[in-house]
Structure formats: C-alpha cells, structure tokens
Amino acid sequence: MKKVITYGTFDLLHYGHVNLLQRAKALGDYLIVAISTDEFNWNEKQKKCYFSYEERKRLVEAIRYVDLVIPEEAWDQKIQDVKEFKVDTFVIGDDWTGKFDFLKDYCEVVYLPRTPEISTTQIKAELGGKNK
C-alpha cells in the first residue's frame, strides 16, 4: 500500500482544498492529512483560524479521499511523521516549492499546482476579515 501525506491549515474549507486532497489521494492508496493545530497556527504562523482544530479535523475527515487526520504541532515533525507512518510520498501546494526538498531523503516529494482562483486568504479578504 502506497501512503501519501500532506499538511495544511484547512480553514474555511473550499474546493481548492478538495482538489488538492483528490490529487494527493490519486498518488497513492492511503492519504494522511496533518492539520495545523490552533496553537501551532497562532504561535508559529501568527494565524487565527475561523474554525477550531477539532472543527477543521471533522470537516477534513468527512472528505472521502482522506483516510487519516493527524495534528501538525511543529514545523519539524515532518520527518518523524514520514518515518512513523511509513509514508511513500509527501504532497504540498506548489507555493512551497523547494521548501521541503529535505524530505527527499525519506520519501518522494511532490509539489502540486494550487487551484489558482481560490484561497482561504482571498475568502477572508473578500468577507472583510484579516488573516492574522
């Protein structure tokens, strides 16, 4: 069984997220999604989410392409996750191109094109919110 992992905040879930998850799942048999916890988002990314970690986890778990959701609590947990879950492929949006090449020592690394016309940042801006 080929295992794939991806990471993200997945706040204000939208079809761009679903596109990413569908394409990630197509690269393997089992898709693991690591969702940034509220503490990690605030302390490391200075982002405040609209939905709590538990709400975002529940939403992502409901997507048929997703087999397992785990918490992302630190930037440096990726190597540990790849080893622990015996991951074959790490997938992330191409806005991160090159940033995770260090994982190539442990698994295949794939940068997928984002859905260009949609993002959570754009949604928040259009609704008058701020991405803090």
Query: Which residues are catalytic, by number?
Result: 45, 47
> DSSP letters along the chain, please?
--EEEEEE---S--HHHHHHHHHHHTTSSEEEEEEEPHHHHHHHH----SS-HHHHHHHHHTSTT--EEEEE--GGGHHHHHHHTT-SEEEEEGGGTTTTGGGGGTSEEEEEPP-TT--HHHHHHHTT----
